[in-house]
Amino acid sequence: MALQAGIVGLPNVGKSTLFNAVSNSAKAQASNYRFCTIEPNVGQVDVPDERMDKLAELVQPQRVVPTTFEFVDIAGLVKGASKGEGLGNKFLANIREVDAIVHVIRCFEDENILREEGDINPIGDKEIIDTELQLKDLESVEKKIQRVEKMAKTGDAKMKRAYEVLVNCKEHLGEGKNIRGLGLEGEDREAIADLFLLTEKPVLYVANVDEAALLTGNRYSEALTKAAEAEGAQVIVMNNSIEAQISELETKEDKEMFLSEYGLTEPGLDRLIRSTYTLLNLITYFTAGVQEVRAWTIHRGWKAPQAASVIHTDFEKGFIKAEVIAYNDYVQYKTEAACRENGRLRIEGKEYVVQDGDVMHFRFNV
C-alpha cells in the first residue's frame, strides 16, 4: 500500500530536518534559505510497534519485517502560493498527491534562522498555509460548479444534490474553513471526490520547539495545540534537530542513553509515525512463523480477503478461510499450538473484519 503523508509548512520551519530524521531510505538537503527543497523527497518509514518485537521474542524467526509507509518532503509554501507565488502551483500539486498532511510549524525563537513573516506566530503561520490551500480548493470547486449547474437544472436528482454539496463547499471555504470539517460521506463525498481537495486531507501538526521546551512545550506550542483541538487535530511537540541527532545513532543503547539525557522515554519520531499511521486510518495485522514475523498494513474496516490481498492478490482471489489469533491471546499462551489447544485460534470467513493486532494465517486455493 503506497500511502503517503506530505510534510508541509512555511520555509525554514524544519521540514527537511524532520524528513531526514524520520526517513530510512532517503535524505533531503536542509539549509537556511527559502526553497531549499524544490522537487519533493520521498522516504520510506518503518512503523515502530512493540507488538511485533514481542511476537519475534516468542517465535524466534529468521527475520523480522516491519510495516512501512512513505513521507514526502514538500517545499515550503509562501503567502500567494495559490496564485503561483514561490512556485506555489507546483508545490500545491505535490500536496494534492499525498493522502495526509503533516504540517510543521515553528514554535521557537532563533535569530540565526531566517524568517520573513515577522515575529514568531504559530497561529498566523498555520493560517497562511490554510488560506493558500483553501483558495486553491475554492478555485477547483468553482470550476466544477460551472460544469454541474447546467446538468442540475435538467432535473437530474444526483446532479442537483452534487450541485448543493459543491455550493456548500464553496460557502464553507469562503468562510476560511477547511473541507474536512464538513465530514462529507457517501454520495455527498462522491460529489467532490474527483477534485482531490487539499483541505479535505486529514492533518497532523508538529510543533517544532527549542530544546528548553522539549518536555513541557511553550506558549507557542500551547497556542497551536488550542487551535488544533478546535478542529479535532493532534499536535506532536518535538525538537526536529534533536530527533535528527537521535536518528543518526546506530545502536539501541546509544539511543536510550541520548534520550535519557533529555528526560525522554522514546523518540518524538516514534509518536509522530504512529500518529500519522492512525491519521491515515491504518491498522496492522501480523503473520508469525519460524521464517519471519511480519507486520502488514491495511485500512481499518477491511475484511479478511482484502487483508489477504496485501500479501498476494492470489490470496484474495482464492480465499477460503482465515486462521486468527488475537494478539493478547498469542502473548498469553506464547505459541500458536497452545492457542489452538486452548480454543483461542478462530476460523473466520469472508465477512470477518480484521482487528488491529490480529495474528493471521490464510487458507486459499488458486
- For 214-270, write each residue's pLDDT tens digit: 999 999 999 999 999 999 999 999 999 999 899 888 898 999 999 999 999 999 989
Q: Are residues 107 and 232 in the same domain?
A: yes
Among 168, 199, 230, the domain-final residue is 199
Query: Distance between CA atoms of 89 and 59, rounded to whole angstroms?
Result: 51
Query: Distance between CA atoms of 79 and 9, rounded to whole angstroms?
Result: 11
Residue 309, by phi and psi: left (phi above 0), alpha (psi -120 to 50) or beta?
alpha
Tell the burial category of 1 from Cβ atoms under 10 Å away from its Cβ (0-12, 13-18, 19+). Answer: middle
Q: Are residues 259 and 351 in the same domain?
A: no
Q: Are residues 99 and 181 in the same domain?
A: no
- For 284-307, write each residue's pLDDT tens digit: 999 999 999 999 999 999 999 999
Which pLDDT band, with edges at 50, 70 and 90, does 37 fall under? Answer: very low
Q: Are residues 93 and 187 in the same domain?
A: no
Run of H or E including 325: strand 319-325
CATH of the domain at 177: 1.10.150.300
CA distances from 82 to 22, 75, 88, 337 (A): 28, 14, 6, 59
Residue 39, by phi and psi: left (phi above 0), alpha (psi -120 to 50) or beta?
beta
3-state SS class at 116? coil
Question: What does residue 201 show for φ and ψ, rounded to 5 degrees?
Answer: -65, 140
Which residues participate in the annotated binding site for ATP? 12-17
Q: Are residues 94 and 156 in the same domain?
A: no
- For 98-138, write each residue's pLDDT tens digit: 999 999 999 998 887 777 778 899 999 999 999 989 999 99
Q: Does 57 map to a domain?
A: no
Q: Are residues 261 and 153 in the same domain?
A: no
Query: Distance between CA atoms of 247 and 241, rounded to whole angstroms?
Result: 10
pTM confidence score: 0.85
Q: 39-53, 155-169, 294-308, 349-363 — which is least confidently predicted?
A: 39-53
Query: Distance between CA atoms of 343 and 96, rounded to whole angstroms?
Result: 48
Neighbours of 299 (CB within 10 A): 15
Which pLDDT band, with edges at 50, 70 and 90, does 38 fall under? Answer: low
User: Which domain covers residue 34, as residue numbers?
Assistant: 4-46+67-116+202-279
Ranges of beta strands (E only) in 184-249 are 203-208, 234-238
Q: Does 305 map to a domain?
A: yes
If one counts the domains in the chain, the total is 3
Q: Are residues 195 and 239 in the same domain?
A: no
Query: Distance between CA atoms of 250 and 252, rounded to whole angstroms?
Result: 7
CATH of the domain at 321: 3.10.20.30
Strands 100-106 and 68-73, bridge-based pairing: unpaired
Give yes or no for residue 31 having a pLDDT over 70.
no
- Cβ atoms 284, 327 nearer than 8 A: no
Characterize 188-227 residue by residue with b for buried, 16 or more Cβ atoms within 10 angstroms of its Cβ, and e for exposed: beebbeebebbbbbbbbbbbbbeeebbeebbebbbbbbeb
User: Which one-letter amino acid corresponds to residue 21?
Assistant: A
Among 199, 227, 258, the domain-final residue is 199
Which residues participate in the annotated binding site? 12-17
Q: Under 8 Å CB-to-CB from 8, ≥6 apart: which residues?
A: 15, 74, 77, 95, 101, 102, 103, 104, 129
- Cβ atoms 13, 76 nearer than 8 A: yes
Query: Which one, of 252, 298, 263, lies nearest residue 53 by Cα?
Result: 252
